[in-house]
Structure 1
Amino acid sequence: MTKKEIKISSEFKAQTTKAIMSITFFILTYVLMLVLAVGLTFLCIYGGIMLIAIRPMFITIALGIGLASLGVLVLIFLLKFIFRSHKVDRSHLFEITKEDEPELFDLIKNIVNQVGTTFPKKVYLSTDVNAAVFYDSSFWSMFLPVRKNLQIGLGLVNVVSKAELTAILSHEFGHFSQKTMKVGSYVYNVNQVIYNLLYDNESYDRLIQSWANVSGYFSIFVVLAVKIIEGVQAILRLVYEIVNKSYMGLSREMEFHADEIASSVTGFEPLKNSLLRMSIADHSFNYVLSFYDGKINSNQKSENLYKEHLFVMNFLAEDSNIKIENSLPKVTYEELNKFNKSKLVIKDQWASHPSTEDRIEMLEKTGMSSQETEFIPASKVFKNIIKTQKELTNKIFNNVQYQGEPISIPFEEFKNEYRNEFSKNSFSKMYNSYYDNKNPILFDINAAKSIKELVGIDEIFSDDMVDLVYTAIALQDDIETIKQIAEKAIPIKTFDYDGQKYKQKDSKELIENLDKELKMINDQIKQNDIRIFNFFKRIEQKAIDTPELENLYRDFFDFDKEFGTKYEPYIKLSNELQFVELTTPFDQIRSNFARIKPIEVKLKNGIKELLSDNRYQTVITKEIKDNFELYLSKQWQYFGNDKYFDNNLKIIFTAMNNYAFVLSRGYFLLKKRLLDYQKEILKTTHNNVYSV
């Protein structure tokens, strides 16, 4: 295909200007604060000297030194970031050379030549489903040219073709060619400075605390310094928002521009296809990692994580009726958005990347089409992909702490376990995803039995009914988001809903209208749930000697009504304990822990109920039971003198998470038991239409 000249869009230029102006604003703001701090320091030192000189005595000497320290403490605060060392952790990366992977390096060289940029300084493999450009960012990188590094995720290589990998790397090299990446270096360092001044203050806090403890006179001026510093931090939070909002806008334009560069190399189709596949690929990889998290206690690991990753991805694709081509899912745009019924559009100023939908739309607008003539897996560009996959698999598991010598699970055993787990955690295909994200809506069972109408299973679980369910889910989510806009929790002035633009002041009226619409839809879904109940009830009456359907519905409805109350201690404790992640005064820490005691009592009572309830016995593993019993064994103390008791905090957090898991899992199993029973009674007859 003919390479098209890529031009910088006007929006790209505008966002670049905004980003540069915001960085300039930070520099001017910081310099002004620094000049004022220097002036304050000079005045404080001068005032301290004059105070001592007027009448030398213990009190004036102490006050003079304290006054002089006021300015010095503020100045030290503003300059402390200079002395902070920053090391980049690359332990998760695996550097490769041309000698290691000659064909891959030839591919990279070819892309570099087509894009018209420089070869990366170093090439790394990572374990995940991703590719990225990065460089060693330091103070000097803002002024001196710095060669970029390329990172290629082996999880990505695992799920794309050679043409798609070429497109993805062309996108990354498109970033290489962007001079605006220098702006990213400035923003990175600005953020490092602001983060240091806002949050990285542990050593500085110790310094001023030690100084305040020397004398009560000194502590007066330490308090004043802290008040000034709090004012500085308030300004910096505002500056942080300005700098990063403008840079995120530029970052999104950089992604569009890099996509267009990729299209000029391969055509837009390979990048489009890979973008559509990324969600299921990433989800599958995370599942495999999660699977082995659950195998740590049994000392089991994977021999080749990527072989299992590919299996899971294709299994999920086939289960979702996604076509498999050349051993990879061919995800369509319609399948990507199959259950997304939201009509709300908000411009996310904090998003660093455009949405997949927006990227695909812009890709197609390039008109640079070039169909892939021959399918070649991306793994073929590697000299020995199996060896590399096993090496990176070992790299992942080498960081895991096992109690004994870990043993690799055979691939066939993994597949069988996965299939069994999937079956345990999913509902029958006959429901057509109707129950995947909804529960049976509460209704009066006795009243429902009096309703009679002719329905078939294809009607009650039709695509239209499933669409109605997901419309209700999306509508509920949209309403909650618009409520946040109305309450100014989401600081935006305008938004689009169903193709119409609204202002923040219009939110309440829109919410009222949407609430009415949601009620009408939920009423329709509830009526369908009643039809479902009656459909299976009539089958049960004809075919089952010992009916259970009503009891299963009643059990589920009873559990559903009490679930919120049972779950409440977990929610409250999670919110109340957030302070342990923040710098908090000691007295406040003690007060906070005293305040959570009544909530802990409710949590412990809830745990005791779970342990004695037969419905949860299959969910409560030995590890969960041991944690529960340990937590219930005594009144734990979480703080003493000047430090947290980390082991005790771990016990309560583990108990909280286990409690939430057991409750949620019990809820799911009760629902699955009901749905599986309905499936079983349907097997007793070949008819699928009944008068109910």
Structure 2
Amino acid sequence: MYLGCSLFRTSQPMSKLLHYPPNPVEIPVTLTQPTRGYTMQVMKVIAGLLGFFLVYLALMLGALALAGTFIWGGISLIHLVKDHPPYSFVVFFFAVIIIGWGGLLLFFLIKFTFSPYKDSAHYRVQIYEEEHPRLFAFIRQLTKDMQTSMPKKVYLSPDVNAAVFYNSNFLSMFWPVRKNLEIGLGLVNTVHLSEFKMIVAHELGHFSQRSTKLGSYVYAIHKSIYKMLYQREAGSTKMLKKWAEIASTINIYNVIPHVTLMLMQGIQTVLGMLYHLIHRLYMGLSREMEFHADAVSIAVAGSQPAINSIRRLALSNHCYAYCSKHLSEAAEKDACFENIYSAQTALLHYISKHHQLRIVDGLPEISDEYLAKTISSRVQYKDQWASHPSDAEREARIRAANIKTEMDTTSPWVLFNDASELQENITQSLYAERFPGRGPAKYRESSSGFIKDISLLHTRYRFPEIFAGFYKNRPFRDIKGITEGLPFKGETKDLYNNTITTKIKRLFQNKIDHALLVAIADKHIDTRHFEFDNQKYERSAARSLAISLETEMEDQSAWLVQYEKDLYRFHLHMAEQKGSEAAQTFMGLYNNVLIHQRNTREMESQATMVIRQVQVLFNMEDQRLHALLDQLKAVKKEEKVLKPLLQNMLKTVEIPAELDKTFVEDTRQFLETNYTYLKENAVHQEEIVRLYRLTHRAVSNYTDVTELRKKDYLEFTAALLVKN
């Protein structure tokens, strides 16, 4: 039965708030109550945490006792020998070392346990109520409806994100502190107001209900332990190692920091092993907390806004990430976006048009019909180490709750004062933080210019539509021994269509699913149960299913090989009908693609070897000259193999200027120069960077040119089909 839930003030008057979507009128009483699974996960994690703290307390007390013993022993020695001058100096010196050792151990125990850790404030900007009163009124009303407290502070970040965070220390394991709310403007830019309400409610929902305080308390403890073991510890270790390097000049002192470091690392290792045991238990709780936060959020925002935002999130992230990457490329030309969020919106619309997604009130709608066309995995399993449930699991629960409410498709930007100015300021701040030495960009790039360049890029590589994606993202097959064409058995219009393309996509997805089944069988994926084609199986069945799927893949591959041969014969037959010159051109274009594919693979293989050796060089801990020289020999060895490939590339491949204006010139200069990669007994950074970048550019350009050669062949073939 559906009733108004007493945990939410759904009848709260909101006439003063112009921009606040209505709450659902009726929701199930049990919607926001913790499930049995949630409660069981909390109990399991608490048991693990109690065990952790018992061991932690024993280790700390033991280490404190050891430190106290050293200090007491050193002081006792001084008192013992102060009246014996012949030995007093030597014993006094030894006693000082013991006291110093005990004091150092005590210092780092305190620092390890009690020093505060602050979450990185990278790109975060704190905002205040007087700056954005409508946003704070919105959040305040939401916290009232959820019966939770206002965030301590509100921050803006540039990306697609929303989060609740806090600065933790040792005491926060016992008294969790008030949380801060972070709102990503890339998220604000790609949701409607009802969806924004749901997302903020989800974040606040982790800490909103009395019934889940125990879960949120466990969350705080777990996070504090992680930071104590793996984030705060780093600073202490660096300090000890630095002192050990300095102390190494005085041999008698060198033992103090080294032994202290070994002791502290030993404590961390033992606690780390226990932490990993409880971490897996916590992952189960974390997934239940996400489900509960979803339940809390749809209780005030409804199911449909949650489904919409979950489905659109990946696309929003992709568009922002692409714009962020382009920001780096534009910086090389002393340019910057006028407004990165206008560019994100423009790209969102461009991709939506390309994929035929319907735009509803300014944002793409990812419908059930569209998702039904996608090729999904046939293997489903619960990742025991995942902190979040899958989108499909979340959507299934949200859809089952079926909380109805009126959608408000207004943009959340209405909550911000001077939204356009804010977007432009954040864009410029993002540029300044990412490229601190450059100063303000000389040029401003508009979103329309940005999309125009993308459109030109896509046009350059776009294959003719008649092939329906048949040749997309896969190599041409090396078809040997075929010198004569044959007519196609069937209708020409049936050569390429979505049904054929879907069969190819299924083959490639089956390869991924086969690898998953093998990983489950070999216990590389930690799960006891899984689903295949919506049927539940034990892990022991994975091997036999993989064998069956392998047989299916062999049949699919055999069909594809034969189909591609039939297509080639038919296209050749059509070319022969145009004359021998057309037939020779057809075969020449196809063979040219094969040559470029072969050369690209060879370049990729060698580039991998070069990059691997360069990475080893940069990750070396031993920076002594003989060690550097040994690694530089390995780099030079791979460079000798790379150079002939580059020479052949310059001879046989024409790199269009629009791909890379300076590649030919830079490559010639590299080939004519004998880099030693050594300068003043240290790595010559500039030469190594040139090698690294040129290697990347060579692979990228070879790949792009190969795509252009494919396009040449397909355009010639498409002309044959159209004229037929």
**Structure 1 residues 614-633: aligned runs within 5 Å:** 614-618=653-657, 621-622=660-661, 624=663, 628=667, 633=673
Partner residue of 1:209 out of 239, 245, 252:
245
Which stretch shows the higher mean deviation, 565-574 or 540-549?
A: 540-549
- 1:19 counterpart = 2:19: no
- 1:606 counterpart = 2:630: no
Which stretch shows the higher mean deviation, 604-613 or 101-110?
A: 604-613
**Structure 1 residues 451-466: aligned runs within 5 Å:** 451-456=486-491, 458-466=493-501
Partner residue of 1:443 out of 473, 479, 497:
479
- Provide the rounded CA distance (Å) in 2 between the counterparts of 1:359 and 1:274: 12
Alpha-carbon deviation of 1:272? 0.6
Give the direction of change, closer, same or farther, for the CA distance of 1:529–1:46 in structure 2 (3 Å limit). farther
- Provide the rounded CA distance (Å) in 2 between the counterparts of 1:388 and 1:96: 11
CA offsets per residue over residues 437-457 of structure 1, 9 Å max, x none? Answer: 32333322616x455432445
How many aligned positions are there?
A: 681
Give the direction of change, closer, same or farther, for the CA distance of 1:486–1:60 in structure 2 (3 Å limit). farther
Amino acid at match of 2:208: S
- 1:552 counterpart = 2:589: yes
Look up the match of 1:385. Answer: 419
Check conservation: 1:308, 1:411, Cα contact below 8 A.
yes
Amino acid at match of 1:568: S
Give the direction of change, closer, same or farther, for the CA distance of 1:677–1:75 in structure 2 (3 Å limit). farther
- Provide the rounded CA distance (Å) in 2 between the counterparts of 1:597 and 1:73: 46
Look up the match of 2:556. Answer: 521
Alpha-carbon deviation of 1:514? 2.8
SS of equivalent to 1:446: coil
SS of equivalent to 1:295: helix
- 1:7 counterpart = 2:44: no
Look up the match of 2:336. Answer: 301
Alpha-carbon deviation of 1:488? 4.6
CA offsets per residue over residues 529-588 of structure 1, 9 Å max, x none? Answer: 223323433443445864532222212223334443321233334445555675734469
Give the direction of change, closer, same or farther, for the CA distance of 1:550–1:146 in structure 2 (3 Å limit). same
**Structure 1 residues 526-541: aligned runs within 5 Å:** 526-541=561-576
- Provide the rounded CA distance (Å) in 1 between the counterparts of 2:156 and 2:281: 31
- Provide the rounded CA distance (Å) in 2 between the counterparts of 1:318 and 1:161: 19
Give the direction of change, closer, same or farther, for the CA distance of 1:376–1:218 in structure 2 (3 Å limit). closer
Look up the match of 2:229. Answer: 194
Look up the match of 1:397. Answer: 431
**Structure 1 residues 170-569: aligned runs within 5 Å:** 170-177=201-208, 179=213, 180-196=215-231, 200=235, 201-215=237-251, 232=267, 234-336=269-371, 338-372=373-407, 375-399=409-433, 400=435, 401-402=437-438, 405-444=441-480, 446=482, 449=484, 451-456=486-491, 458-501=493-536, 507-543=542-578, 546-547=582-583, 548-569=585-606
Amino acid at match of 1:419: S
Check conservation: 1:297, 1:402, Cα contact below 8 A.
no
Amino acid at match of 1:2: E
Check conservation: 2:101, 2:260, Cα contact below 8 A.
yes
SS of equivalent to 2:314: helix
Look up the match of 1:665. Answer: 704
Check conservation: 2:607, 2:699, Cα contact below 8 A.
yes
SS of equivalent to 1:203: helix
Alpha-carbon deviation of 1:364? 0.8
- Provide the rounded CA distance (Å) in 1 between the counterparts of 2:443 and 2:110: 52
Which stretch shows the higher mean deviation, 477-486 or 623-632?
A: 623-632
Which stretch shows the higher mean deviation, 631-640 or 16-25?
A: 631-640
- Provide the rounded CA distance (Å) in 2 between the counterparts of 1:257 and 1:250: 10
Which stretch shows the higher mean deviation, 579-588 or 609-618?
A: 579-588
Alpha-carbon deviation of 1:639? 9.3
Give the direction of change, closer, same or farther, for the CA distance of 1:657–1:81 in structure 2 (3 Å limit). farther
Partner residue of 1:130 out of 150, 161, 167:
161
Give the direction of change, closer, same or farther, for the CA distance of 1:62–1:100 in structure 2 (3 Å limit). closer
CA offsets per residue over residues 446-476 of structure 1, 9 Å max, x none? Answer: 16x4554324454333222222211121121
Partner residue of 2:181 out of 150, 160, 166:
150
- Provide the rounded CA distance (Å) in 2 between the counterparts of 1:182 and 1:483: 39
Alpha-carbon deviation of 1:420? 0.9
Partner residue of 1:166 out of 175, 184, 197:
197
How many percent of aligned residue pairs carry the same amino acid? 23
SS of equivalent to 1:152: strand
CA offsets per residue over residues 55-84 of structure 1, 9 Å max, x none? Answer: 979999999998998888777665553576
Alpha-carbon deviation of 1:316? 0.9
Check conservation: 1:342, 1:478, Cα contact below 8 A.
yes
Give the direction of change, closer, same or farther, for the CA distance of 1:103–1:471 in structure 2 (3 Å limit). same
TM-score (norm 2): 0.82
Alpha-carbon deviation of 1:337? 6.2
Look up the match of 1:690. Answer: none
Give the direction of change, closer, same or farther, for the CA distance of 1:237–1:660 in structure 2 (3 Å limit). farther
- Provide the rounded CA distance (Å) in 2 between the counterparts of 1:582 and 1:19: 37
Amino acid at match of 1:147: R
Check conservation: 2:675, 2:687, Cα contact below 8 A.
no
Amino acid at match of 1:635: Y
Amino acid at match of 2:121: R
Check conservation: 1:610, 1:616, Cα contact below 8 A.
no
Check conservation: 2:678, 2:684, Cα contact below 8 A.
yes
Partner residue of 2:693 out of 651, 654, 665:
654
Which stretch shows the higher mean deviation, 585-594 or 191-200?
A: 585-594
Which stretch shows the higher mean deviation, 279-288 or 509-518?
A: 509-518
- Provide the rounded CA distance (Å) in 2 between the counterparts of 1:280 and 1:607: 38
SS of equivalent to 1:294: helix
Check conservation: 2:464, 2:718, Cα contact below 8 A.
yes
Look up the match of 1:95. Answer: 126
TM-score (norm 1): 0.86
Amino acid at match of 2:420: I
SS of equivalent to 1:394: helix
Amino acid at match of 2:563: N
- Provide the rounded CA distance (Å) in 1 between the counterparts of 2:169 and 2:204: 21
Alpha-carbon deviation of 1:631? 5.7
Check conservation: 2:614, 2:688, Cα contact below 8 A.
no
Look up the match of 1:106. Answer: 137
Alpha-carbon deviation of 1:182? 3.3
Amino acid at match of 1:418: I
SS of equivalent to 2:247: helix
Q: For structure 2, which runs of at least 5 residues remain unmatched after alignment?
A: 1-24
